[in-house]
Structure 1
């Protein structure tokens, strides 16, 4: 078994390898991170210039996603744009110092960075309309997520998910993400009658990505694509200005949860926790397919012997749950999940979690304090291109790779259709049940799972999630059951 000294004794300098790819893969193979014990740069891992790629992508993604969640809350609650800016800065400092650097960088490099729960954004108006409170929502999500992680429920659900189901989910999420970003880019450009700018940027992005694939330097897609998109937009006359000045956000939780300061909501009461309960269950249910997809993406890009540096799904759930509770208690509006805009480019660049996590934390702190980089990160050309080439295109590629062999295409097709009908949680839970029962996919696989893995656990998960989704009105054409009870 490896110990701390093994990495230093087994690693070799770059000059010992014919290519940099071989060097990076060997680094992954000899690393042995220590879970929940101190890992130190130099002793347990090294910094490489490739680590800047996921760090840049993660920082851009963090600004964008936290701003999207907080601004959606602010719109529903009638809060100002200044509130959004200050809360995003606050959240970035909380995440960077307490969890990104400390946990993923030093204490447990097998835990992916706790990022932002994008799929929950469309539900925020419904959460507020139902009488939900941001702190109550955050605490409940965090507690449920931590329980799922500590009981190893996340890894259990991952084992019950076949390659076909996971591959179909990645294909769906990748395609939906790409089409969404293309639509947003054209919407931005047409706002100042510059639709041609969006077209030119996207064509250039396609050519750039194809060229990087050809020269096997796809890990450069995010920094190169972001710079290229910004350059083209500037050259063609797209409007842009820096408006967020340097500053430090209010760090006092009493300010954020005051009756007439910060959120202007005061502390939550018991009825607020009841109101957010269905949404919290659904949010944590979304974690399993999301976390599974991130781990699988690492497996597809890392060498087979690099098992020790793969993200641990349960540890990541515990970290994300703890981060959620702490962030909400302090006054932040973020909703946590596994950090996709970090782990996907990190896997492409063939880098472990730890080193890039430290750089991500540093960039998040600098961005939050300076302010100006936040404006550039959320500028649509930079944002959309970074997400397309850094997250959604690679997800589609990984999905295609997972559905090449065996009877995986049946399960992949069903999960895509079911996800399009309701949402990815419904698609995943339904298809796992059908797949494990042997109705689709590999018939022999289901027989090896036993009754518990074949239908009891998948059936319970599907039933509970359907009940939650029916209660809050997520089935198309079906009124929310909660309204019926209120009447």
Structure 2
């Protein structure tokens, strides 16, 4: 009997071995083989095997699906808005006109597209797209008032980010952040972002003398979102909400017109860094780098909670056995740092971070990063060269509902999901409290320290940590962040320690 059973065992082991050695192309099955669309998308996530620093090609390593167009559309809208906000914040104190803002946004869309294709679409498919560092926007007037140079600022952010990525500091800090701390961070970001966009929409309504329009748009968007949730089609929320909001507003008489026609920005870096052209600043000096040093440290330190929130949202939305396709924090920091360095040298106004308006809708749609990344690059190129889509993307009824349903409401949902079990609510509440006091970076670093010490949250988790991970690393991170914030005047009620930043 032993001689008969042995060959059977060998035969049964061969298919299993071959199955393990099959590549993505061989494991792929048509969607018709699955009972539901969701099962097909989850299977796609599970069979992908992204390669780091080696070519990842469409159809051989991943496929394009209709769902990829949704995060690409949301990401493009978010990109136009965020880069425009940074360029405008710089332009006002520097005395630059609106034409500078428009041309630099177009320039940045082309720069972003190039690096999206190289990294997220080709060499680092688990690196999220390098987007825009939104929390930095309130700091820009202080940087300009201190005499900070945008190129010096961007180059230091790129250098510090690369140092953190090479040392794997980003993933280390993410591993030290408990579910309670991360959930609270997502709740705070989602709530504050939602309130902010609703207020902006009502302010727009007041400015045009039609306050009823924002109410109708938001109410109809809520009903649409609830129906899509019921029908399990939430990944369609961004395009349908944008279509609904824009159509309703226009039908009720809200003013809108296309102003930005086709065109190509100036692609010469010397134009942007000339003394009488572009930024009108010339090249930075050594003093320029010294002035922006604390701001650059703060910018990179604020990456970790931002990146962590995006990664966790993927983990919640993706099925099991998809770790290989989830966003890698260190790879994202690498691509964002390199993109930041070259973008600043070329003359762009963007400051890079993880692209939230892309990754959150992509996670909801259960799609990996690369295919949607290439579509985002294509959409950004079209928007930059064509011009007209830029006007539509920044129209308030389209912009606000896109950010609410595509980013902030999903963040709220993910935060509540993470704080459902265990002793997570204490830590979550402290994060929200501390973030409201200063900002999310302060709230995250303080609560991570308190949580790891066992003062709040799960005491059993704290007991399992080493001395290094319990208080030394969180303590150093909190001390560094607080010192830098104090030096540039970000702690409420406390004057800047370095007085020159205020003059």
**TM-score bin (small chain):** over 0.9
The alignment's TM-score, normalised by the length of structure 2, stands at: 0.95
Is 1:90 aligned to residue 107 of structure 2? yes
SS in 2 for 1:178: helix
- Whether 2:242 is the aligned partner of 1:226: answer yes
1:236 corresponding residue in structure 2: 252
Matches of 1:242 and 1:59 in 2, distance apart? 18
Q: Does residue 35 of structure 2 align to residue 35 of structure 1?
A: no
Relative to 1, partners in 2 of residues 1:45 and 1:96: Cα closer, same or farther, differing over 3 Å? same
2:444 to 419, 428, 441: 428
In structure 2, distance between residues paired with 1:445 and 1:290: 23
Task: Name segments (4+ residues, structure 1) moved above 6 Å.
Answer: 1-4, 484-487
Secondary structure in 2 matching 1:481: coil
In 2 relative to 1, CA 358–486 (structure 1 residues): closer, same or farther, beyond 3 Å? Answer: closer
1:443: how far off? 0.6
| From 61, 76, 79, the counterpart of 2:78 | 61
**Aligned counterpart in structure 1 of residue 42 of structure 2, from 25, 39, 43:** 25
1:357 aligns with 2:378: no
Relative to structure 1, the CA distance from residue 275 to residue 108 in structure 2 (aligned partners, 3 Å threshold; closer, same or farther) is same
Aligned counterpart for 2:64 among listed residues 47, 53, 60: 47
**1:167-246 alignment to 2 at 5 Å?**
167-246=183-262
How far apart are the structure 2 equivalents of 1:305 and 1:53? 24
Shift of 1:4: 9.1
Could you say which residue in structure 2 is the equivalent of 1:437?
A: 453
Alpha-carbon distance in structure 2 between the residues aligned to 1:310 and 1:55: 17
Separation in structure 1 between the aligned mates of residue 96 and residue 378 of structure 2, nearest angstrom: 29
* 1:446 alignment partner in structure 2: 462
Alignment of 1:301 with 2:317, yes or no, is yes
Q: Using the alignment, how far apart are the partners of 1:343 and 1:469 within structure 2?
A: 28
2:151 maps to 1:135:
yes
TM-superposed CA distance for 1:202, in Å, is 0.4
Q: Tell whether 2:33 aligns with 1:16.
A: yes
Q: Which structure 2 residues correspond to residues 306-325 of structure 1 after superposition, within 5 A?
A: 306-325=322-341
Counterparts of 1:115-154 in structure 2, within 5 Å, are: 115-154=131-170
Q: Separation in 2 of the partners of 1:407 and 1:319? A: 36
Cα RMSD of the aligned pairs, angstroms, is 1.3
* Aligned-pair CA distance for 1:338: 0.3
> Is the contact between residue 411 and residue 441 of structure 1 (CA under 8 Å) also seen in structure 2?
yes
Does 1:399 find its partner at 2:415? yes
Contact 2:146 2:501 in 1 (8 A): no
Question: Is the 8 Å Cα contact of residues 4 and 44 (structure 1) preserved in structure 2?
Answer: no
Asked whether 1:73 is paired with 2:90, we answer: yes
State the secondary structure of the residue aligned to 2:23: helix
What is the SS of the residue equivalent to 2:147?
Answer: coil
**Given the superposition, is the C-alpha separation of residues 38 and 204 from structure 1 closer, same or farther in structure 2, using an over 3 Å criterion?**
same
| Alignment partner, residue 355 of structure 2 | 339
Q: Describe how 1:103-118 pairs up with structure 2 within 5 A.
A: 103-118=119-134
- The structural deviation recorded for 1:446 is 1.2
Partner of 1:388: 404
Note the alpha carbon deviations across 1:256-298, whole angstroms, 9 max, x for none.
Answer: 0000100000000011111111111111111000101101000
State the alpha-carbon separation in 2 of the partners of residues 485 and 418 from structure 1: 25
Matched, 1:457 2:489: no
Q: CA deviation at 1:475?
A: 0.9
Query: Cα distance, 1:103 vs. partner?
Result: 1.1
Gap change, CA 1:224 and 1:427, over 3 Å in 2: same
- Taking a change above 3 Å as real, the CA distance of residues 232 and 485 of structure 1, as seen in their structure-2 partners, is closer
Contact 2:145 2:501 in 1 (8 A): no
The corresponding residue for 1:255 is 271
TM-score (norm 1): 0.98
1:232 CA displacement? 0.3
Q: Deviations over 1:155-206 (max 9, x none)?
A: 0000000000000000000000000000100011110111100000000011
In the TM superposition, residue 135 of structure 1 has moved relative to its aligned partner by 0.2
The aligned residue for residue 274 of structure 1 is 290
- Structure 2: where are the runs of 5+ without partners? 1-16
Q: Structure 2: how far apart are the matches of 1:76 and 1:429? A: 32
8 Å contact 2:145–2:502 — kept in the other structure?
A: no
CA distance in 2 between counterparts of 1:422 and 1:165 reads 16
1:106 Cα deviation (Å)? 1.1
State the distance in 2 between where 1:123 and 1:466 align: 15
Check if 1:413 corresponds to 2:425: no
